[in-house]
Structure 1
């Protein structure tokens, strides 16, 4: 996909959490002639061609505001990526996400793309599939609560301040599916980049919540209507890994605990507060 195919005219994109799993996968995939990727993380990064590195935390409002100067969009990937005690989630994921939106407002960044999660709606069950984009929040963890909060902050900053905000409920984004369940929830890195490009290129998207998943044969758990309205069309299918994964791990029983809710293992007792 080239820049013209993406329909984008954005010149500088600030990516928070750029040293993390998805951030690392996106660097080469979002690179475009004439585009600067401004990479922000608490981990040192070496900037390559068309990149700028910013050493800063999502908890530092002044640093975030400065990093946003001149940016055309923020892709917010930074934060605690799994469940953690409440204090950690509050500081990094909730207050940190507030600071991202506030920094964007102060710096005049017109668009924020927020990496939300299926864990914002993790307690919904298969009898409700495919979950629509406007599914009522049902977070499965403190981490899921932080994603619901981020979506709400996005709505506030759109309606009050006019920011374009797209919240992507990402399911499972790794180079390949990690287990049998991920054969249904996988978002390939290439499809993830396609979705981010659609979010960057969409004209006046307003405020939206969409799902991020590939065109998996075993999928259908969530709707892609909203993502497709933005111009996203997934091209990958986890089924190409199915034989390998099933040979290694076996088939999951239909009543396996990780299949009872969208959030999978995050809905199980191991994530009760007393176990954190």
Structure 2
């Protein structure tokens, strides 16, 4: 089978989601360059491995050389103190797009997050045209990434698909996860559509499976032709049916950000 790219770069390959995605990426390119600050282990067939600190501009430039497209999953992936988020997610994003621009790379798929909209209420339905309302430093950093990628599209014509990823773990165990769950097979399909759709401009899409209940309206990304085949319905029997009305005072049930509302902001002592 002819693959759409000769070489792609996948950052964040040593992370929890990166490790799960790694075996699925060979269908995208002849060579998959895996990058992370952490140890990646030995390269397999059709793989290259690179250790890279996203805050180091020269390392980022070298990491990006010779690739046709980038899946950018690197950086801090949860709520944390501001300093590491600033280094990896903000400075690192600026370094990445400057390398993309200088090297003539035309397509980036950016792992954004639903936490860019986490301060909307669970009774709201959100779409990509609505103002961002992040729920912590992590969400703020991803808003920066979406805005930066938009600037590079408007100014330099570099296309980006920003995926506001939902809850992408093996199974859902509570109501929020039932609404926001994203199956791994669906994520792989969404990455494929984000890479091969001929013209995406600057697209923001919500990464969720075909779940019951909807907080996010993805109508602005219909041109990607993403059709989820998985659903959190398979986990419904594991979700408690009884309602504890005292829990309704919990802020994590009021806002879409969930437990991230308990996690930040954090400062280093």
1:165-223 Cα distance to aligned partner (Å, 9 max, x none): 11111111112225342111111111111100000011121111111111112x31101
The residue matched to 1:11 in structure 2 has which SS? strand
1:201-256 Cα distance to aligned partner (Å, 9 max, x none): 11121111111111112x31101223432121111011112213438xx6676835
Contact in 1 for aligned 2:4/2:29 (Cα 8 Å): no
2:218 and 2:73 map into 1 onto residues whose CA distance is 21
**TM-score, reference length from structure 2:** 0.91
Cα 1:11/1:19, change in 2 over 3 Å: same
How far residue 258 of structure 1 moved from its aligned partner, in angstroms, is 2.1
The residue matched to 2:9 in structure 1 has which SS? strand
**TM-score, reference length from structure 1:** 0.89
Aligned to 2:148: 153
How far residue 35 of structure 1 moved from its aligned partner, in angstroms, is 2.4
Cα 1:243/1:144, change in 2 over 3 Å: same
1:39-75 Cα distance to aligned partner (Å, 9 max, x none): 0011222211111111112112212212212211111
Aligned to 1:51: 47
- Unaligned runs of 5+ residues in structure 2 are none
Aligned to 1:27: 22
2:5 to 7, 10, 28: 10
The residue matched to 2:216 in structure 1 has which SS? coil
1:222 to 216, 227, 239: 216
Name the count of aligned residue pairs: 266
1:72-111 alignment, distance < 5 Å:
72-111=68-107
1:1-276 alignment, distance < 5 Å:
9-32=4-27, 35-45=30-40, 46-129=42-125, 131-217=126-212, 219-246=213-240, 255=248, 256-268=250-262, 270-273=263-266
2:149 and 2:137 map into 1 onto residues whose CA distance is 18
2:25 and 2:230 map into 1 onto residues whose CA distance is 17
1:103 and 1:230 map into 2 onto residues whose CA distance is 26
How far residue 33 of structure 1 moved from its aligned partner, in angstroms, is 7.5
The residue matched to 2:163 in structure 1 has which SS? strand
How far residue 102 of structure 1 moved from its aligned partner, in angstroms, is 1.1
RMSD, aligned α-carbons: 2.2
Contact in 2 for aligned 1:69/1:109 (Cα 8 Å): no
How far residue 118 of structure 1 moved from its aligned partner, in angstroms, is 0.8
